[in-house]
Structure 1
């Protein structure tokens, strides 16, 4: 009896020592039956022992490498439980939020001794990020997105602060990834839109505020189309302006041509009217006044009048004038005289001039 008791006591002590010195097996929360369980482990809760806060730890430590492999597997997995509604993507995003809250705010456990001003910059979103972090369930995994404290402008400032650091740029990408899912919820059974290789890098992710809502029916725009659309639009505007200028100049030229022709006709009409009026004044005015013609006396002592004009009768008068001049050249008379026929002599009104004699007095 004593021997059996001693053997049992020794076995209990050995088992206690084995449990005491055996390292605890920690894991990250994932969907039951997930293919990622081989990388993430099987556990009901994520703990801070599986979290790394420095960027270099994800490349140099076993904890960091395991965390990156587990999250990469979950975000690229389309596995989900139809009965519970759980999916690997949801738990992968939860694990990222857990890591951010632990490293930045020290909640639920403080494991980072890094000195940085960024926790102060990000302090406003502390409440939202830490909501239900210790009691996660499929019903509250996304409730924290609706918290008023999770403001986009504060998130931008927080990301910018961590982007300026040289050791914790990953934290900025963790925050942007969970914010993206708040704006654009991942459909159950679909992979996460952001590739894990873009999250675990020191290149900052673009803000999800500049993105459009993805849809299954929409296709990605080709870069050539994006470049060609503004160019085609510019060419269309340029062609439209060219056509408008062409028709405008054409209209102006037609208008100027019509205006010039109208002015030319008016000038010709005015000139014709002026000449006609001048001729009427020359032949209708009475007497032998100065400027309306030329009065003189021939060798017989008879008075004659030569009127100005360009009509056919004037040409006849000039011809008579030349013939008369040739006939009187030998008589020594120095003035050329043209006698108007009585039937063609115009009737002139009397001009009151005391020095002028009437034609009847010359006859």
Structure 2
């Protein structure tokens, strides 16, 4: 093959690979989920998708889906600010913040303003501070526990935002049981995280109100592993 021909092919291949979108989400480098989450250790708003369908049809959505499914059973723990559970909740929190309160127009929020807007200040609060990072359950205020269930029920009662409702419900479940991640406990999922079946408001509210026991497994504590809030990393 002529040198010029080889050089041209190399340039084409380089351009192709550089234009492939790469999604990476917040995860510890030492986590078993590092590959599924993209191995960049931080999350950008541009990585996030909102509609239910996007979690099965887009590269960004599939990365989030695979990442969260892995993190949901992850037990890597370094500290209250560095664990698989922290990353699991953070990626859902940042998705909810982006889809409900940051992007315009807020189609995901439409019809659920009364139920979800009281939570806006909680979700707009950055978990990465100048001098510290919020601990796993710092978001679990009285306001959050008061409104999260109704917000989740409303989101799950309309097509297109069911998975966002599942994320809200999972964060609510974590507040209710506060699993001890240092002992390998994990967050109980009241419903399959990516079940996009539209639920009636009454059925969804009933499911959110149930008290369930936190699942546990043996922890493996190993060394550490965006645009706005996501522009921080776990070491």
TM-score by length of 2: 0.69
Paired position in structure 1 for 2:119: 125
Select 1:145's aligned residue among 135, 140, 145.
Answer: 140
Are 1:51 and 2:45 matched, yes or no?
no
| Rg larger in structure | 1
Shift, 1:158, TM fit: 1.7
Tell me how many residue pairs correspond in the alignment: 192
Are 1:194 and 2:189 matched, yes or no?
yes
- SS across alignment from 1:45: coil
Could you tell me how far apart the structure 2 residues matched to 1:124 and 1:113 are? 15
Which structure has more RCO (C-alpha within 8 Å, separation ≥ 6)?
A: 2
Could you tell me how far apart the structure 2 residues matched to 1:187 and 1:167 are? 33
After the TM superposition, which residues 90-169 of structure 1 pair with which residues of structure 2 at under 5 Å, given as runs?
A: 90-106=86-102, 110=103, 114=107, 116-135=110-129, 139-146=134-141, 148-152=142-146, 154-169=147-162
Paired position in structure 1 for 2:84: 88
After the TM superposition, which residues 1-40 of structure 1 pair with which residues of structure 2 at under 5 Å, given as runs?
A: 22=19, 25-40=22-37
Shift, 1:192, TM fit: 2.8
Would the aligned equivalents of 1:104 and 1:119 in 2 still touch at CA under 8 Å? no
Could you tell me how far apart the structure 2 residues matched to 1:34 and 1:123 are? 34
Paired position in structure 2 for 1:227: none
CA RMSD of aligned residues (A): 3.1
Paired position in structure 2 for 1:352: none
Paired position in structure 2 for 1:222: none
Could you tell me how far apart the structure 1 residues matched to 2:156 and 2:187 are? 23
Could you tell me how far apart the structure 2 residues matched to 1:84 and 1:125 are? 23
Would the aligned equivalents of 2:81 and 2:135 in 1 still touch at CA under 8 Å? no
What are structure 1's unaligned runs of at least 5 residues?
Answer: 1-13, 217-363
- SS across alignment from 1:172: helix
Q: Which 10-residue stretch deviates more, 48-57 or 158-167? A: 158-167
After the TM superposition, which residues 303-314 of structure 1 pair with which residues of structure 2 at under 5 Å, given as runs?
A: none
Would the aligned equivalents of 1:159 and 1:175 in 2 still touch at CA under 8 Å? yes
**Against the structure 1 CA distance between its residues 141 and 214, is the aligned structure 2 distance closer, same or farther, given a 3 Å change threshold?**
closer
Paired position in structure 1 for 2:175: 182
Higher helix share: 1
Would the aligned equivalents of 1:176 and 1:207 in 2 still touch at CA under 8 Å? no
Could you tell me how far apart the structure 2 residues matched to 1:126 and 1:113 are? 12
